[in-house]
Amino acid sequence: MKYYIIAGEASGDLHGSNLIKQIIKFDNKAEIRAWGGDKMKNAGAKIVKHFKELSFMGFYEVVLNLQTILKNIRFCKKDILQFNPDKIIFIDYPGFNLRIAKWAKNSKFKTIYYIAPQIWAWRESRIKKIKKYIDYLYVILPFEKEFFEKKHGFKVKFLGHPLLDSIKHFKDSQNKDLSNEKNKEIISILPGSRKQEIKKMLGIMLGVVDHFPKYQFVIAGAPNIELEYYNNIIKDKNIKVFKSKTYSLLSSSKAALVTSGTATLETAILKIPQVVCYKTSLVSYLLAKFFIKIKFISLVNLIMNQELIKELIQNDCSKKNIIKELKKVLDLNNRNRLLAKYDSLISLLGEPGSSKRIAEDIVLKI
């Protein structure tokens, strides 16, 4: 069969790559054309648009790049028609994907949404489009099944969280080199996967380095961002960037400073204490504060419905506060309490093998 997959961000590239590997196992004649990144390409997809051309962060940034987004939508529709897939699979990225889903459904294509839009956070009205234009919906957060089915009467499937697969399968080849480089324990810095957020966050995170002389700070570089971009922000600080080594780096770390997103959950599954740090433009922050209706921004806290990890957002994301909270998670007693709570979190995510179960469902049952 022919599959057309659309992922617009680094996390979608990761989950899409694991899904593609499993689709090919169930369908050895699969033709897969996709929007994604290097991971999806290496898994066996023909990439027609790289996600680094698509990642616009925040309300203001989307408005500035509206013409590019509309051009991409036109290209996508044309490309789908030429490829004529049996199934279209959307991965997160709702602003773009729901537009394409409407057109695809009206054009008689089979529409599958993997990693549901987070309408429980904002724009809950999108449920109307989901009900109308999506044939099958898979959710990856345990509370989402009840949200969609009980609140909105839309049947979904929760077959586990794909990060459990990614972390189970990764092989740590950097641990020894990283941890022994300066004979110091490591603190990881994960400043995000988009240039806008890296520019905003990395300088703030680096500001605390001199206050922890006993530790070695190392940056987890995003695969789509060139080293020169990081180095221009690091300047004269003697801090290394390791691209595409996030799991190896985290598993070697004593603690981590993490920009909100999928990375917070990855850090928790790897059982590394963390502090969440997040700032955006003032316009984007004020709009988000008005529209978004959730208590937390990290997936860890959202899933547990309590503040397991400290979130330092906007004005609270200061050098003074980061130093204070990082010292807390480095304290042995606080670490042990947090790690015990991580175990409870992980138990809610299901069993490893979700990518296989979802691929089997898509290939053989839909």
pLDDT, one tens digit per residue, over 79-116 is: 999 999 999 999 999 989 999 999 999 999 999 999 99
- Mean pLDDT confidence for 48-61: 69
Provide the edge-to-edge strand list for the sheet that holds 253-258. 240-243, 215-221, 185-190, 253-258, 274-278, 310-313
Predicted confidence (pLDDT) at residue 69 exceeds the cutoff of 90: no
pLDDT computed for residue 65 by the predictor? 63
Residue 53: predicted pLDDT: 76
Q: What is the pLDDT of residue 60?
A: 47
pLDDT (mean) for 14-33:
96
- In this structure, of 66-80, 109-123, 218-232, 277-291, the range with the lowest mean pLDDT score is 277-291
Which pLDDT score is estimated for 160? 95
Say if residue 173's pLDDT is above 50.
Answer: no
Q: With the C-alpha atoms ordered 226, 173, 328, 289, is the resulting torsion angle positive or negative?
A: positive
Residue with tokens 């598993």: 251
Cα(172)–Cα(325) distance, rounded to whole angstroms? Answer: 28
309 Rama class: left (phi>0) / alpha (psi -120 to 50) / beta? beta
pLDDT of residue 55: 59
Lowest average pLDDT, out of 20-24, 220-224, 268-272, goes to: 220-224
pLDDT at residue 238, rounded to an integer: 84
At residue 288, the pLDDT reads 67
279-306 as b/e: b if 16+ CB within 10 A: bbeeebbebbeeeeeeebbbbbbbbbee
Specify the pLDDT at position 178.
56
Question: Mean pLDDT over all residues of the chain?
Answer: 90
Task: State both tokens at 121.
Answer: 């956070």
Instruction: Give the H/E segment covering residue 64.
Output: helix 59-64
pLDDT of residue 237: 79
Could you say which DSSP state residue 121 is in?
T
Mean pLDDT, residues 261-278:
94
Does domain 168-348 fall under CATH 3.40.50.2000? My reply is yes
Does the pLDDT value for residue 143 go beyond 90? Answer: yes
**For the ranges 66-70, 72-76, 108-112, 318-322, which has the lowest average pLDDT?**
66-70
Superfamily for 2-161+351-365? Glycogen Phosphorylase B; (3.40.50.2000)
Q: Is 125 a residue whose pLDDT tops 50?
A: yes
The CATH 3.40.50.2000 portion of the chain extends over: 2-161+351-365, 168-348
